[in-house]
Chains A and B, each alone.
Chain A
Amino acid sequence: MSIINYASREISCKIVYYGPGLGGKTTNLEYIYQKVAPETRGKLISLATETERTLFFDFLPVDLGAIRGFKTRFHLYTVPGQVYYNASRKLILKGVDGVVFVADSQVERMDANIESMANLHENLAEYGLDLKDIPFVIQYNKRDLPNIASIQELEVHLNPYGVPYFEAVSVRGIGVFDTLKAVSKLVIKSLS
């Protein structure tokens, strides 16, 4: 639910990184935080447990600067991946403008990916949203690990609508900005 404020000439859009626990959602945000120019981004807020698992969310605002007189900003959020944090996950989806699903490519995480994707559908449905209608991309993360599923296999299970997907190794930054670029362009398109 982007807000276009004609008085202060600001546009803010909310992008949520979703996916199973330990899939690399927070790592995506941390990499973005490290790499974009400091004047472009705000503080990275992490509500995490003592063991650095996301408890509620991570939050990073990224500023595009003024576009045709409108200060344009993306608010990037992650959700906690573990199954039992669903209440918090649902809250973060409120007002979402675009979604990135960060899938863990390891074979043994396929079920967790499928479960998380089903959960994403369910939680969006509670806000009256359907993944078919909102800006949505998938990131297949951890492509550098030895025991990974093939892209075809991941596509069959996770991408029935054929949305754009990106292969990534988020700890090394590979694919992180390709994913962000794609989802942010889709979000901008949905505004015009």
Chain B
Amino acid sequence: MTGAASWSLNEHDFHRLERVLQNFLYVSNARCALLVDRAGQLITTVGEAPEFDTTAFASLAAADFSANDQLAALIGETEFSSLFHQGERASMYLADVAKRLILVVLFDNRTTLGLVRLKVKSTVDELTAIVEELFARTRAEPARPRLESAFADEAEDEIDRLFGGL
């Protein structure tokens, strides 16, 4: 049985993505940037460590973005490539990355929406190049087991231990 297409991220890709995000924070003065996949899973967080539950945040951000995609389609737009939510103290800006990931930027009055928007644009281009390369590589790889079978055995034991007798 094969699951839905999975993808993996090696250390090299991961550090390239993080470097782009770190550079973005430096030039935009935003507080933190999160990279979330379209299915709602958090890939990485860079900048000030968020005090909220980042797992829940990632799932809601992806849902928010997906719902807005559908709203765009309903009004005849192909997409809303970015979204902005303004708060009293903190605001967030979300931008699509190669239709695979979402860049979420949290910022406050230490910067401006204009600067964030401007810097997001070039950052998205850089992230897109990395992500497209990564997915092209995933597609080119022949199907092969990605985790050793001992992983499955150990995971099954853990599932039994955690969920058994409940």
* Chain A interfacial positions (CB closer than 8 Å to B): 1-8, 11-14, 35-37, 40, 42-43, 45, 47, 56-57, 59, 61, 64-65, 67-68, 70, 72-73, 75, 77, 87-88, 91-92, 94-98, 127, 129, 133-135, 173, 176-177, 180-181, 184-192
Q: Which of B62-70, B76-84, B109-117 has 4 or more CB atoms under 8 Å from chain A?
A: B62-70
The reply to whether B3 and A192 contact each other, CB–CB distance below 8 Å, is no
Total A-B contacts with CB atoms under 8 angstroms apart: 169
B75 within 8 A of partner (CB): no
The reply to whether A192 and B163 contact each other, CB–CB distance below 8 Å, is no
The 4 closest A-B pairs by CB, nearest first: A95-B39, A7-B14, A190-B3, A4-B8
Chain A min CB distance to B148 (Å): 7
Contacts of B15 in A (CB 8 A): 7
Q: Please report the C-alpha to C-alpha distance between residue A68 and residue B156 in the assembled complex, in whole angstroms.
A: 12
Chain A min CB distance to B5 (Å): 6
Considering only CB atoms, which chain A residue lies closest to B41 in the complex?
A12
Chain A min CB distance to B101 (Å): 10
The reply to whether B63 and A185 contact each other, CB–CB distance below 8 Å, is no
The reply to whether A35 and B155 contact each other, CB–CB distance below 8 Å, is no
The reply to whether B147 and A192 contact each other, CB–CB distance below 8 Å, is yes
